[in-house]
Amino acid sequence: VKGCRSGRRRFLKNSATLAGLAAGAVLSANGQPLDSQMHAGPPIGDLRAYGRRSRFVTSARGPLPYAQYTPLGDSMGTITPNSLFHVNGTGGFHSHSPGEVYGGGLPDFDPRQHRLLIHGMVDHPLIFTMDELMRFPSVSRFHFIECSGGQGGTQYAPIRRLNFLNDTNMYNHPHVLYSKSSNAEWTGALLSVLLNEVRVQKGASWLVAEGAEPNRLTRSIPLEKAMDDCLVAYGQNGEPIRPEQGYPLRLVVPGWEGDTNIKWLRRIKVVDEPYMTMAETNIYPSIRPDGKARWFLFEMPPHSVITFPSVGQRLPVHGFYEIRGLAWSGGGAIRRVEVSSDGGRTYKDAELQEPILRMAHTRFRLPWVWDGAEAVIQSRCTDEKGQVQPSLAELSKAWGVSLDYWQETSNYINHFNPIHPWKVTREGSVQNALFA
Amino acid sequence: VKGCRSGRRRFLKNSATLAGLAAGAVLSANGQPLDSQMHAGPPIGDLRAYGRRSRFVTSARGPLPYAQYTPLGDSMGTITPNSLFHVNGTGGFHSHSPGEVYGGGLPDFDPRQHRLLIHGMVDHPLIFTMDELMRFPSVSRFHFIECSGGQGGTQYAPIRRLNFLNDTNMYNHPHVLYSKSSNAEWTGALLSVLLNEVRVQKGASWLVAEGAEPNRLTRSIPLEKAMDDCLVAYGQNGEPIRPEQGYPLRLVVPGWEGDTNIKWLRRIKVVDEPYMTMAETNIYPSIRPDGKARWFLFEMPPHSVITFPSVGQRLPVHGFYEIRGLAWSGGGAIRRVEVSSDGGRTYKDAELQEPILRMAHTRFRLPWVWDGAEAVIQSRCTDEKGQVQPSLAELSKAWGVSLDYWQETSNYINHFNPIHPWKVTREGSVQNALFA
């Protein structure tokens, strides 16, 4: 191309942040820049009705075949595509289950036959069809849903044998960062509106929500939360909720443990005490070394992770990069994200992408020049309550355990939100450094 | 279910807005509410990697086989799913083309081979690979992209024969409201950052952007807009842009005519005048009856439409409904949406869903009790500039034409943003009343 300096590239002398991008350009510009090859895509007929992604895009949930987590290392912006929204669990005992217990397929309920019953300590128990629920006043809100953890020795043994680190909310596959937190725009009726419709009786203080899947996952939720911001949701990112997210109806409990967001919601019973369900007593309590357990700790703590550069990615050249990541908290809006490139000795404030929404993934970014030396990069977020994401050492101290505990325990570890350090090697590869 | 009054339903006496929902519940509650039938979904293997929607969800772009518009009548919230994002055009001459000219498939460019050239009146013309572009500082922003119109007698004749109304931005299929406006979270580099990198020369005032598809759609864009808020985007709703939206690279020109958002972006030339390209001189000017034309009218005007109830939908019973719709404007944020249920004689302010973002779809909602009489419902929006969406009569007056003009002309009609009235019949069916 005439006039194009394809072999040389300007350094922005007075913008140190962009220095080094030049090197990449020199390497790749080849003088034939506009002869990009066009491939014929799928037949038009397939594309018209409901589009598909490029054959060159292969991002997938994983790590297969044991789990279906969001490939956060591939993420862009704040939305998690519905097709990549995480599905949790392998045991089939709770609503995160991908469905092995269902005889070869995920449950796919006929919306014309699905019903929601609200009963218990109410004056007027009611049964709602989907059409009726969709006539109620609706709201749309961006919220993350994050699994509270739930990693144990039993059901995750195969994963541990595959050399995954015991990092309950981020599975560090050698090739991609997987996450048990995803983010979507949910649309539905406010649960408070439905509860007002059935008239909750005096003395009621909890509700029990139940899914329609064969396992009937059931969780107790304080009435106060239900009246505050819970949604009975039928929409996810502009279309009906996906089957593995609870189609046609899911309870969305903003900022709280993922499995309180009951999928395939069919029943809400208003009661005056928590029901001590199996999930609450056997599965989700975190048992400490002294035998005590944390129960009913609903709200997810502040959590952040650098998505680029992250495990499995590679920095091809020295120079400018933008460190990118996501932060979220059950405590509300993210107020601050700090990023360190020296293993936590010093931090700089990252820029937060607006709009910054409560209990939603928030994108953060910070310019960084990699000089080619080994570096440990990590992020630390603070939410609107002032809660700060802890280091693993701080978390261990608060938990009263040794650092080894996290790798050795076979108990469930919930709300595991340590700062996630990634080591950038001299070769530019990125590795997990949590237990380094 | 014991204790459930399935045959009676409470009226909320002191909440007139919800009155009538009761009727629906009475009709449908059948005493067997919890026996919803579960269907086995697709095999788990298919779902793990990249999820699919329920077999019961069939929302599709259309109307087929002539166009691929977003089924806005099915929309929930503000996000348009990538699979339902509109693709415009049938002639194959511009970048909206669904691809008939490409020999049976949409273009699907290999990102490893794709390049962007920025040259012309710049000190340092540069060629960027996709990897390099993705290293630049990035932003994520929610924006609609709306076709400016472009309906003419020639290429849309088949559609007109199929009894579509000449309503250029909303195709009123008998069964669903289709729209040429869709909304997504776009992620990419700011064009201003890239332009700073090549150093734009004094005297430059425009740029020409070109796509890599065989047609090479080319549009002239003022430099001022390019430096303000344009994105060189690679991400859409959390994943790479879809092939029919320009994978791997699309220019996003917030709020401006859809076809300025060049797909498969491969070249930006900085110049000192508009280039009077075919799209600008032959295709997109709006020719008036007096022979004069409007050229280079980039910014899309304020536009809103009621998505529920809308054409093809049906109100099963009298009583409470929530009127829902979407509003947007190239002029910035939506400040107000008014809704009328008496054909425009009186209006009430609708509630706007937050966050209200600039040049983005904004969801509005208003409670409404349908008494069973014929009603004409419509919405009217106002943007942050104070621009008000006109009635068809007001638009005609401003345009200097008769009402018939819109139905009879074979010229291109751009920026056609009249208030869209829907008639609700006594039977509860919803019809287009724009030309009633």
In total, chain A counts a number of residues equal to: 436
Interface check A197 vs B, CB under 8 A: yes
For residue A392, give the 3-state DSSP assignment. Answer: helix
A350: distance to nearest CA of chain B, Å?
12
Task: Check CB contact under 8 Å for B56 and A110.
Answer: yes
Interface check A216 vs B, CB under 8 A: no
- Total-model pTM: 0.89
* pLDDT at position B197: 95
Task: Check CB contact under 8 Å for B80 and A238.
Answer: yes
Cβ contacts of B1 on chain A, cutoff 8 Å: 117, 119, 125, 127
Interface check B41 vs A, CB under 8 A: yes
pLDDT in tens, A24-33: 343 333 333 3
* Kind plus residue range of the DSSP H or E element containing A234: strand A231-236
B13 to chain A: closest CA residue: A197
Nearest CB partner across the interface for B103, out of A40, A213, A365 = A40
pLDDT-derived band of residue A285, with 50, 70 and 90 as boundaries?
low
* pLDDT at position B372: 97
Residue A249 clears pLDDT 60, i.e. is over it: yes
pLDDT-derived band of residue B105, with 50, 70 and 90 as boundaries?
low
A:265-324 residues touching chain B, CB 8 A cutoff = 266-267, 316, 320-322, 324
Interface check A209 vs B, CB under 8 A: no
Secondary structure (H, E, C), chain B:
CCCCCCCCCCCCCCCHHHCCHHHHHHHHCCCCCCCCCEEEEEEHHHHHHCCCCCCCCCCCCECCCCCEEEEHHHCCCCCCCHHHCCECCCCCCCCCCCCHHHCCEEEEECCCCCEEEEEECECCCEEEEHHHHHHCCEEEEEEEEECCCCECCCCCHHHHHCCCCCCCCEEECCCCEEECEEEEEEEEEEHHHHHHHHCECCCCCEEEEEECCCCCCEEEEEHHHHHHCCEEEEEECCEECCHHHCCCCEEECCCECHHHCCCCEEEEEEECCCCCCHHHHHHCCEECCCCCEECCCCECCCEEEEEECCCCCECCCCEEEEEEEEEECCCCCEEEEEEECECCCCCEECEECCCCCCCCCEEEEEEEEECCCCEEEEEEEEECCCCECCCHHHHHHHHCCCCCHHHHCCCCECCCCCCCCEEECCCCEEEECCCC
d(CA A433, CA B297): 54
pLDDT in tens, B130-177: 999 999 999 999 999 998 764 432 233 333 333 333 344 555 556 678
Task: Check CB contact under 8 Å for A84 and B355.
Answer: no
Residue A99 clears pLDDT 80, i.e. is over it: no
* B91-98: average pLDDT: 39
pLDDT in tens, A150-182: 443 323 333 333 333 334 455 556 667 888 899
Of the CA atoms within 13 Å of residue B140, those in its CB half-sphere come to 28
pLDDT-derived band of residue B409, with 50, 70 and 90 as boundaries?
low
Nearest CB partner across the interface for A117, out of B1, B129, B135 = B1
Interface check B26 vs A, CB under 8 A: no
Q: How far is CA B2 from the centre of its chain?
A: 48
A105: distance to nearest CA of chain B, Å?
5
Percent residues over pLDDT 70 in chain B: 73
* pLDDT at position A354: 98
Task: Check CB contact under 8 Å for B106 and A353.
Answer: no
* pLDDT at position B281: 74
Task: Check CB contact under 8 Å for A61 and B44.
Answer: no
Tokens of A114: 């699905």
B:90-119 residues touching chain A, CB 8 A cutoff = 98-100, 102-111, 113-115, 117, 119
* A311-319: average pLDDT: 92
Percent residues over pLDDT 70 in chain A: 73
Cβ contacts of A5 on chain B, cutoff 8 Å: 124-126
B314: distance to nearest CA of chain A, Å?
11
Interface check B125 vs A, CB under 8 A: yes
Q: Are the C-beta atoms of residues A314 and A426 closer than 8 Å to each other?
A: no
* pLDDT at position B283: 65
B208: distance to nearest CA of chain A, Å?
16
Higher pLDDT, B288 or A402: A402
Interface check B196 vs A, CB under 8 A: yes
| Sign of the CA dihedral with B171 first, then B177, B181, and B186 last | negative
A3 to chain B: closest CA residue: B125
Task: Check CB contact under 8 Å for A25 and B127.
Answer: yes
Task: Check CB contact under 8 Å for A36 and B244.
Answer: no
Cβ contacts of A24 on chain B, cutoff 8 Å: 129, 131-132, 135
Side chain identity at B201, as an amino acid letter? Q
A340: distance to nearest CA of chain B, Å?
18
* pLDDT at position B130: 96
Q: Write down the mean pLDDT value for chain A.
A: 80
A:376-435 residues touching chain B, CB 8 A cutoff = none
Least confident range from A41-50, A73-82, B111-120, B326-335: namely A41-50
Q: Are the C-beta atoms of residues B357 and B210 closer than 8 Å to each other?
A: no
Residue B38 clears pLDDT 70, i.e. is over it: no
Higher pLDDT, A292 or B394: B394
pLDDT in tens, A330-362: 999 999 999 999 999 999 999 999 999 999 999
| Sign of the CA dihedral with B392 first, then B398, B403, and B407 last | negative
d(CA B343, CA A386): 51
Task: Check CB contact under 8 Å for A53 and B82.
Answer: yes
A:322-361 residues touching chain B, CB 8 A cutoff = 322, 324, 353, 355, 357
Nearest CB partner across the interface for B25, out of A33, A126, A140 = A126
* B68-82: average pLDDT: 93
Residue A140 clears pLDDT 50, i.e. is over it: yes
